Structure 1
Amino acid sequence: MGKAARQQVPRARLAVCEVDDRDPIALLEASNAGRLPNLIPIRYGRMIASPFAFYRGAAALMAYDLAKMPRTDIIVQLAGDAHLANFGFFASPERRILFGPNDFDETLPGPFDWDIRRLAVSFVIAARDRGFKTRDQCAVVRRLCETFRERTAAFSTMDTLDVWYYQFGAEEMLAIADSVGERAKEQATIDKARARSPRAVMSHEIELIDGRPHIRDSQPLIYHVATRGSREAKRFDEDIRRFVAEFRTTLPDERRALLDRYELMDVAMRVVGVGSVGTRCYMALFMADGESPLFLQIKEARASVLERYLPASKYANHGQRVVTGQRLLQSASDIFLGWSKSRDMGVDFYVRQLRDMKVSFDFKTFDVEDLSEYAVSCGHALAHSMAKAGDPALIYGYIGRADAFDAAIESFALAYAERNEKDWSLLKSAVKAGRVQAVRE
């Protein structure tokens, strides 16, 4: 079936990068619908910082473009926004440090090639930002695709349960490092992840007010919601507590028992990411025994940007869409992963831990060898995500043993990186002309 899919869409067709005469600013403005107006300038301020920052915030723009280009009919659960900054370390319930995709706001079933193309383009843009030569950009993408292809082949021969149980962890990542220096950099990031716990960051994130712990404000990125009078404050508090009670019902019974050990102490707004800026995101502080902190992130779940071009989510709550996608694509997921809806705002949310050994690599400091090594890890992790959530034999049947698929993705990635840079320049011009407002932090 995978080989037969080549007859419908030859692998060489995936190199096509024909972008119509669309208005990128209009598409970005359309994606602001429903966002908090006061945060939209921060979103644009972050996006104009560099071509890569723009790319991070322009998932809706690339979805529009991909929908008009050749694509396969091999459908898998997509991460939906699989750029290299959306991969990193996270902890399994057994406290093992794993590596893989860690952002699922746009997750949705779709053509498998969309994720690998978005990831490949991100490597080219990151390499261009670092000033790497075109041949080095090509080499990094080839290594990404080669790893994805070889790991998909390996997963296609494994027992189905073994694929599900498989974990790509810190130890495996260190084992495939190309040099002692790269292994040392990876180990330093792993050590940073191990040290990142709620208790470890408590002194930085919490302050005592009248003897009660509160989240420390850090304007304009962390702040408490202003309410007008005691009645509005009471209504906000009631909505939050009702939300937490309903979120609790989406957890397994044993995890409900664990959550019940904790008391909700405080909630504050938190501005996160680039593409998510302007959406509602809260940081909730819980305490157990008066001294054990738990930070939960309550993040707005909007319709995936892919839903304009693919079948809509089957879930009534977009938080459930995100949670299900994360559970399908990650080797192991957060024990507090769940969802609910704010009745007062009429907004869907998903919930996960905020401080739990989550760390990403600082690829802005990478040399060519570092970026190439990171491409191997991302290719490995993405291959496993698709194998776990779908049928690796079907995907491997399409991409095959030779490098025809790799060559097509390389060609596409180089071309789309050029398009991305032009769109970034248009946004900067729009800001300069006053068409959109941007705030640099």
Structure 2
Amino acid sequence: MQRLQQLISEFSRTDQVDPSQQLLAKHQKMALNPFRFLRGSSGLFYADIQSGLLKLPPALTTQVPLTTVMGDCHISNFGFFTEDGSYGERVIFAPNDFDDACIGPAVWDLSRFIVSLLLAADYCHGLTTGKYISEDAPDLTGLTAASAADAHAAARRFLQSYADCCAAVAKDPEFRFSTQDDFPKQHVLKPFLKKAIKRSAAGPDFLSKSTLAKSVDFSARPLQFKADSGKFSRIEASRYAELEQAFAPYVHDSILDIVTRHGAGTGSLNMQRYYLLVGPAEIGSDADVALCQVVEVKQQRRSAPLFFFPDLHPVNRLNDAHLTVDCQRLMQRRPDSILDEVQFEGAHYLVRSLHHANVDVDPEDICLHMQDPAKSLRQYAEACGHALALAHNRADRRSARFAVQMQQTLEVEADALLQACADYASQQQQDSQLLATLLTQTSERIEGQQ
């Protein structure tokens, strides 16, 4: 009962909705399975670190220098995109979500990723047995799910890959500016890389499958966002003029259209966001279309760890959007060409380009396979471990102290970290069921009152 009250209190704080009294789409998504629960409950994650329910090895928080961390590091927050934003040409694999970024212990990201890995495998196995359902689930015919043992082995490979990258940076600090832009033919990520390259501005699928193509009506003149009531809402003229006036200084070209965006994300599902269509004022050819891009302006909430660790580092006192921008710029080798923050109507908003070539990787893509899901999961974990280590090591560009200390500490503490994450994954499974039961009771009560 005490844990249930903690869940109610935490979700009421972060989402401004008490799940024992009202239904929220975000909470309903979180109740579908423990992996979704983890994605939507980053605040709870850090509450549990602070309380010691998630018992991270002390050496990894005290003996390793702080760095820039993602804050919401899980397996679905890595993917393919072009460096420099929409106008870039090089497609890379790297972390792609910095909404909860801040200065903190790297073990926060390591532990959250490992827990997500274990829960993703549990989720996909549950799809094959009927334990879990999903509106996004693929055709499961012929597919085998990674086992719990496979997930634990992949988690160990994740840590080893991370440590190996730190060793490479310790040997040659310039290695931190390398990136992952190719994979072997049989690698689980090779098809995703090819898909992203095709969607880039110079690729054959740009006009049909890019982020721009999925969002914009190319037949309209001037160009405008597609009519899609599930995603976009049109904005009345006077409000449109206010938004255009506020956001125009932060983009590189004319604003061709503005809409309100709905239903994106899990942790940020209830945050205000706008999409701007930005490009040349006159569109005369496909070459002109390639100069257009979608820019997201999203209300930024406080980084999840900082409610529980507010005094960890002076940089974390920056406003919410400014902190995200600074951390992203440090963690990426070549940050987005449009990446800024704006204060608007008393709130802080993050301004960033949405990549044409953006390709995400879902749990079903790596934990379900026709032949060898264990291999797919291991390959993905290795790639993420390497990518995360590069991002962490870019925070301090004056030395390799982080790389040296992290490598040495992980050699001693890896087993303890893996066990702590396994224990917490079990806790998240219990928490997800608690939330599902609570929402059923809330729904029944609301129906009875109508």
Q: What TM-score bracket applies, with the shorter chain setting the length? A: 0.7 to 0.9
Query: In structure 2, which of residues 100, 113, 118 is the aligned counterpart of residue 119 of structure 1?
Result: 113
Q: Identify which range, 207-216 or 90-99, moves more after superposition.
A: 207-216
Matches within 5 A, 1:16-415: 23-33=6-16, 41-69=24-52, 70=56, 71=58, 72-73=61-62, 74-93=65-84, 94-131=88-125, 132-159=146-173, 162-164=174-176, 166-171=177-182, 174-175=183-184, 180-181=185-186, 183=187, 185-197=188-200, 200=207, 201=210, 202=212, 204-207=214-217, 211-225=221-235, 227=236, 233-234=237-238, 236-248=239-251, 259-260=252-253, 262-288=254-280, 289-290=282-283, 291-292=288-289, 293-311=292-310, 314=316, 316-342=318-344, 345-366=345-366, 367-390=373-396, 392-400=400-408, 403-415=411-423
Note if 1:427 corresponds to 2:435.
yes
- Confirm or deny: 8 A CA contact 2:180 2:387 kept in the other structure: no
> 1:208 offset after TM fit, Å?
7.5
Distance (Å, rounded) in 2 between the aligned partners of 1:55 and 1:82: 10
CA distance 1:392–1:137, change in 2 (3 Å): farther
Query: What is the TM-score with the length of structure 2 in the denominator?
Result: 0.78
Distance (Å, rounded) in 2 between the aligned partners of 1:123 and 1:434: 31
RMSD: 2.8
Structure 2 residue matching 1:340: 3-state secondary structure: strand
- Confirm or deny: 8 A CA contact 1:270 1:281 kept in the other structure: yes
Query: What is the TM-score with the length of structure 1 in the denominator?
Result: 0.80
Q: Structure 2: any 5+ residue segments left out of the alignment?
A: 126-145, 367-372
Residue matched to 1:12: none
Q: Identify which range, 377-386 or 357-366, moves more after superposition.
A: 357-366
Distance (Å, rounded) in 2 between the aligned partners of 1:436 and 1:189: 43
CA distance 1:437–1:353, change in 2 (3 Å): farther
Query: How high is the sequence identity, in percent, across the aligned residues?
Result: 23
Distance (Å, rounded) in 1 between the aligned partners of 2:410 and 2:108: 20
Task: Read off the aligned partner of 1:58 and give its amino acid letter.
Answer: S
Cα deviation 1:216-267 (Å, max 9, x = unaligned): 2323332224x5xxxxx41x2232123223435xxxxxxxxxx13x343333
Q: Identify which range, 116-125 or 393-402, moves more after superposition.
A: 393-402
- Confirm or deny: 8 A CA contact 1:283 1:296 kept in the other structure: yes
Residues matched between the structures, number: 386
> 1:436 offset after TM fit, Å?
10
Distance (Å, rounded) in 1 between the aligned partners of 2:413 and 2:389: 14
